[in-house]
Structure 1
Amino acid sequence: MPEAVHYRVSMLRPHSHLFEVEATFPAAPESLAAVLPVWTPGSYLVREFSRQLQDVSATGPGGEPLAVRRMDKRTWRVESGGRAVTLRYRVYAHELTVRTSHLDGSHGYFNGASLFLYTEATRGLEHHVTVEAPEGWRAFTALERRGDVFVASDYDELVDSPFEVGPHTPLTFTAAGVPHEVVVWGDVVPDASRMCSDLQRVCEAQARLYGGLPHRRYLFLVYLTDKGRGGLEHGASTALLFPRVGLQSARGWEDFLTLAAHEYFHLWNVKRVKPRALVPFDYSQENYTSLLWAFEGVTSYYDNLFVLRAGLMSASRYLTRLGETLSALQSTPGRKVQTLAESSLVCWVKHYRPDEHSPNSAISYYLKGEVVAVLLDLELRRLTGNARGLDDLMRLLWKRYGDGSGVPEDGVEAAAAEVAGQELSAFFDRALRSTEELDLSPFAHVGLEVRLRPRESTNDRGGTPPPRTKGEGRPKGWLGVVPKGGATFSAVLEGSPAQEAGLYVDDELVALDGWRVDTGALLTRCEDKSPGDTVRVTVFRRDKLVEVPVVLGQKPADAVWLARMDKPTDAQKAAYQAWLGTLWEEPG
């Protein structure tokens, strides 16, 4: 049997935030080059994990010291003389995200890419991990356990299997015959039994699409924090970061379920069916593909849909949330600048590194990708008389590429044409490779109309009809800034009155027409005025007081909602029912 790479991860001094790692590599060539990834799969940003790695030393099989030389930002070289080498080093971990690692007195979480040095020569060997933790702490991971050792078939599986270590008592449930664990850090779940039962229903809804689950067991790692929301998918687990207060409201619970549904759907769409450009992963640099819209955007479409299919969201709520997505797209000027394909390709420097200009220059492949996914689903249904849809496309991709061989750059489009029974080049040219507005006419196939209205407030996400209020229809003044809170702006929108007049993101708001305001009051007072009115906005620009006169524009109609047609045909009602699994006449 080939030798394995062995790691020992110690966290006996958790208040130091330092993981102590021992990595033993079997006999190798005369010189061993140990390297650390610069990114982690599923999160397309060069994160430079090696900046937190310190105190590297090396010994031979008899404990004799060996010289270690750092070659570059991520490589350490040892002249091993062909012998086995043990590297010892420490990793600082005090960043609680699903992509990094975190160690303190309450737990230890580590994502393999940020912790485990590897060599290209041994990357394909088994990788074994033992964990040394404070008394009363247990280690949780999706890896197979042999006694006290966790076993990964190779380095890729190791990186794809985060660890959570702490004094936790896991929740358990079975979905589609497969055992699942939920490990929660940060607080007590308000209703643990509901969390398990709802997650079970979501998992089983996804299993029904594919005819079963692709894993033997699954682990949800849930991190409840004061703020922040995100997830990272893995081959048999996921890490979810969610605000604890969110679990106490209906909307928050719904958001948690859609987040979990999103990461769980990646079991198929990303972890097994993946872009060929990511096969194999190159951990040393960016891995470019224009297909992320199909893997993240399509998954974003399905996350809400599977909560609906699980019976945990009404059809009306689903349409409201879809309207909110359409509203977010409609209010992003960058949709007219960056194509969806380019958004996928350059996410390494755009999506994961947003700045104040991002709303004007870029579009999220999650956001626009979700809208393209629903349009593709409805278009496939229209072209095939509701015989086939996006579900069939996903099953075809699973059948064809589920072995991990990777989807070629034109593979999704070719498979979609196969499902449709005809070419879809016009659809994809417009949706992926153009900045032209999307054709929303496929909604008519299911008896829906896309309608727009101005937003009622900065908290208005769209998705719902306008309220029937006094003064309805009166044009409102519009400044065109996005508030950051307090006295600053996070963006000045392209072509807005604020931009034309010369307001900047780094301006510190002082007053409107001589009266002190914060950004919330600024926008409200501008909306109380009429288009064409001039207001005086006073700001500190660096350390100089500046007054900027702004001629207000008319508040744009960028809040979208999906309205049912007044007189739908029987065919439209049937298509609606086939799509959402709900009778047209049924409320909610």
Structure 2
Amino acid sequence: MQIQYIFSIDRAQQHLIGIQIEFKNRKKGKVDLVLPAWRPGRYERADFAANILDFQVQAGKRHLDFHKTDRDTWTVPNCPQGRIRVSYSYFADTINAGSSYVDEQQLYVNPVNCCMHIKGEMEAEVLATLSVPPEFRYSGMQPMVDGAIRCKDLDEWYDSPFVSSAHLIQHRFKASGIQFEVAVQGDVPYEKKRLESDFRKFIGIQKKAFKDCPVDRYTFLIQATPHRYYHGVEHEWGTTITLGPSRQLFKENIYEDLLAVSSHEFYHTWNVKYMRPESMWPYDFTQENYHRIGYIIEGVTTYQGDLKLWQGGAMSDELFLKEIKTHLDRHVANFGRFNHSVRESSFDTWVDGYGKSIPERRVSIYTEGALIAFILDVSIMRRTKGQKSLDTVMRRLYQQCKKKGRGYQEKDFLRYLEEILGKEAKRIYAQLIDRAVGYEKELEKALQRIGIKYSKQKIDILASDYGIRTDSSDRPKVIGVHPESMAYEAGVRPGMQILGIDGQYVEGDADALITRNELSLLLKSRKMLIVKELRPSDDMLYYQYELEFSRGSGAYWKRWKKGIF
């Protein structure tokens, strides 16, 4: 069976993509047209169906009856044999790495958002064409040949975003035997030589770590926004990235973000696209695909993405330490680590998504997974006297998936760890991965072993002495309250706004108003004013880490930086 998709932008001003689907119905009877309930790379339910307008089904000139049978399914109860045409509009006004978007300047499509499929026909071939102005150029995960995009099945189609625009920057180069294209949509002062030089560094070392690469072509499809943004999504044949501000893409901080997200997503080529949990092989787009190994698929990738930038020479020592510090600081600031293990937090992304959950409920699979990966990496180097690393484990997992042609189970990852670490692997799993706990001592031990000196420093007076973390706005909002603080017992909660300290109006730096130990805090909560009298703790409550390399003291520091393959 073949399914044809035709995209048009006649109503681009209203952010509406016209989508027409044509197929030959082989058997008279009920046909279900299904829109995906989620997208790979974001493990939560989506509301793509809320963007559908003007849905119609026709056989020739005859309009067919249909009705919804669930949130994502349109049922045609009496569909005749022969050629069937489905048409609808998709509202696309959001730009991020996993969305679809249209205006007069571009057509940007993630098929998994907006393309229905016929239930039971996931193996159907796909042919897609675009009705766009002749000056529009094309870039995507699949090449356009003779005016059409072709995919072997729906699984590949849903993994093949594309963009068409008259203003597309396209840069092609070959590195490590792979053909690359960088396609940028946005107002960017593009620096071709600089980008290519730095991309080659992490591309080469990642391929070296796995010994080969499962793809021979790869596209970095970048939406450069005028405002601050950071997002990336992995695909088999490339990645979609949204980053901004566009005019600052090659300025120091934003360029560092570009390298970081690009290295992270490229590592996903192996870790997720070809090394995938068995429960997601193949993907089931109609419902949640539960698993408990987000710490592997996202956490290890977060660690390795930065590590490979550093090992390849595209990230400085200082910046690499800054990334480790960021993860450490997030870990100690989140008391969800005492409520939910990283395994259970992996499962619960399907429960409360990627936004803020209730205070201190769970941990980040990215942060905790990256820190556990760091501990494992150091442990393996220490056990093998610098002859093996976490790369050894990931490479063996990749080779297993490649050989068997299916996903892996958590026990496979643990088996490869045990072959190197023995009982130490079981201890780390039981105490750090499968348990809701703070493991700062384990982290500090790993820092010392690899040659990183650390100290704990105050964040500010409110956070460290009184246990109240705030945002950086002029009228600060509470974003965290330490459970061992007087503020916690007094009922200070996240979301409250601090209006005054000791009778003085707060505007900007709240610490500057703290002149005595006992504190009178004026708070706004749900349009009510509340006064709390607080005393500081004798202990430092919230704190942050300061890190520096002590090079000479770390037995495996040089091997770590060079890479152990």
Q: Answer yes or no: same fold by TM over 0.5.
A: yes
| Alignment partner of 2:457 out of 448, 453, 458 | 453
Q: Distance in 2 between matches of 1:431 and 1:388?
A: 22
User: Contact between 1:509 and 1:517, CA under 8 Å: does it hold in 2?
Assistant: yes
**CA distance change for structure 1 residues 563 and 380 in 2, over 3 Å: closer, same or farther?**
same
Which whole-Å deviations, capped at 9, do the CAs of 1:11-47 have from their partners, x for residues lacking one? 1331110000001122233111000011101111111
User: Contact between 2:177 and 2:216, CA under 8 Å: does it hold in 1?
Assistant: no
User: Contact between 2:341 and 2:433, CA under 8 Å: does it hold in 1?
Assistant: yes
166-175 vs 387-396, which deviates more? 166-175
Q: Distance in 1 between matches of 2:436 and 2:453?
A: 22
Q: CA deviation at 1:416?
A: 1.4
User: Contact between 1:277 and 1:289, CA under 8 Å: does it hold in 2?
Assistant: yes
User: Contact between 1:455 and 1:557, CA under 8 Å: does it hold in 2?
Assistant: yes
Q: Distance in 2 between matches of 1:391 and 1:217?
A: 23
User: Contact between 2:100 and 2:108, CA under 8 Å: does it hold in 1?
Assistant: yes
**CA distance change for structure 1 residues 53 and 457 in 2, over 3 Å: closer, same or farther?**
farther
| Alignment partner of 2:288 out of 286, 289, 292 | 286
Q: CA deviation at 1:400?
A: 0.2
Q: CA deviation at 1:348?
A: 1.7
| AA aligned opposite 2:438 | E
Question: 2:546 maps to which residue?
Answer: 561
**CA distance change for structure 1 residues 476 and 33 in 2, over 3 Å: closer, same or farther?**
closer
**CA distance change for structure 1 residues 508 and 395 in 2, over 3 Å: closer, same or farther?**
closer
User: Contact between 2:53 and 2:88, CA under 8 Å: does it hold in 1?
Assistant: yes
**CA distance change for structure 1 residues 515 and 493 in 2, over 3 Å: closer, same or farther?**
same
Is 2:86 the partner of 1:87?
A: yes
Question: 1:539 maps to which residue?
Answer: 523
User: Equivalences for 1:44-193 in 2 at 5 Å?
Assistant: 44-60=43-59, 62-78=60-76, 79-167=78-166, 168-193=168-193
Which whole-Å deviations, capped at 9, do the CAs of 1:358-398 have from their partners, x for residues lacking one? 4x222101001000001101111111222211111111011
User: Equivalences for 1:435-454 in 2 at 5 Å?
Assistant: 435-438=436-439, 439-440=442-443, 441-454=445-458
| AA aligned opposite 2:448 | A
**CA distance change for structure 1 residues 83 and 544 in 2, over 3 Å: closer, same or farther?**
same
Question: 2:42 maps to which residue?
Answer: 43
Structure 1: tracts of 5 or more residues without a match:
459-474, 583-588
| AA aligned opposite 1:559 | Q
Q: CA deviation at 1:333?
A: 1.6
Question: 1:320 maps to which residue?
Answer: 322
Which whole-Å deviations, capped at 9, do the CAs of 1:499-518 have from their partners, x for residues lacking one? 32223334343222221113
User: Contact between 1:307 and 1:313, CA under 8 Å: does it hold in 2?
Assistant: yes
User: Contact between 2:223 and 2:243, CA under 8 Å: does it hold in 1?
Assistant: yes
User: Contact between 1:131 and 1:139, CA under 8 Å: does it hold in 2?
Assistant: no
Q: CA deviation at 1:525?
A: 3.3
SS in 2 for 1:161: coil
User: Contact between 2:467 and 2:541, CA under 8 Å: does it hold in 1?
Assistant: no
User: Contact between 1:6 and 1:129, CA under 8 Å: does it hold in 2?
Assistant: yes
Q: Distance in 2 between matches of 1:206 and 1:482?
A: 39
491-500 vs 30-39, which deviates more? 491-500
User: Equivalences for 1:345-424 in 2 at 5 Å?
Assistant: 345-355=347-357, 357-358=358-359, 360-402=360-402, 404-420=405-421, 424=425
| AA aligned opposite 1:113 | V
Q: Distance in 2 between matches of 1:329 and 1:476?
A: 16
User: Equivalences for 1:268-307 in 2 at 5 Å?
Assistant: 268-307=270-309
Is 2:263 the partner of 1:261?
A: yes
User: What is the identity percentage for the equivalent residue pairs of Structure 1 and Structure 2?
Assistant: 24
**CA distance change for structure 1 residues 511 and 404 in 2, over 3 Å: closer, same or farther?**
farther
Which whole-Å deviations, capped at 9, do the CAs of 1:548-573 have from their partners, x for residues lacking one? 222233543621233455973xxx43
Q: CA deviation at 1:334?
A: 1.4
| Alignment partner of 1:487 out of 439, 460, 475 | 475
User: Contact between 2:180 and 2:218, CA under 8 Å: does it hold in 1?
Assistant: yes
Q: Distance in 1 between matches of 2:199 and 2:256?
A: 11
| Alignment partner of 1:516 out of 490, 494, 505 | 505
Structure 2: tracts of 5 or more residues without a match:
none
Q: CA deviation at 1:404?
A: 4.6
Question: 2:494 maps to which residue?
Answer: 505
**CA distance change for structure 1 residues 524 and 478 in 2, over 3 Å: closer, same or farther?**
farther
Question: 1:462 maps to which residue?
Answer: none
Question: 1:433 maps to which residue?
Answer: 434
Q: Distance in 1 between matches of 2:518 and 2:461?
A: 21
Q: Distance in 2 between matches of 1:320 and 1:506?
A: 28
**CA distance change for structure 1 residues 351 and 384 in 2, over 3 Å: closer, same or farther?**
farther
Is 2:564 the partner of 1:579?
A: no
Q: CA deviation at 1:481?
A: 2.8
User: Contact between 1:481 and 1:498, CA under 8 Å: does it hold in 2?
Assistant: no
506-515 vs 343-352, which deviates more? 506-515
Is 2:222 the partner of 1:241?
A: no
Which whole-Å deviations, capped at 9, do the CAs of 1:132-174 have from their partners, x for residues lacking one? 1134112211214331110111111111011111111311221
SS in 1 for 2:510: helix
| AA aligned opposite 2:100 | S
Q: Distance in 2 between matches of 1:330 and 1:543?
A: 31
| AA aligned opposite 1:387 | Q
Q: CA deviation at 1:477?
A: 3.5
SS in 2 for 1:108: strand
**CA distance change for structure 1 residues 139 and 150 in 2, over 3 Å: closer, same or farther?**
same
Q: Distance in 2 between matches of 1:317 and 1:133?
A: 43
User: Equivalences for 1:16-27 in 2 at 5 Å?
Assistant: 16-27=14-25
Which whole-Å deviations, capped at 9, do the CAs of 1:476-521 have from their partners, x for residues lacking one? 6434132262435252324144332223334343222221113x42
User: Contact between 1:492 and 1:499, CA under 8 Å: does it hold in 2?
Assistant: no
| AA aligned opposite 1:580 | K
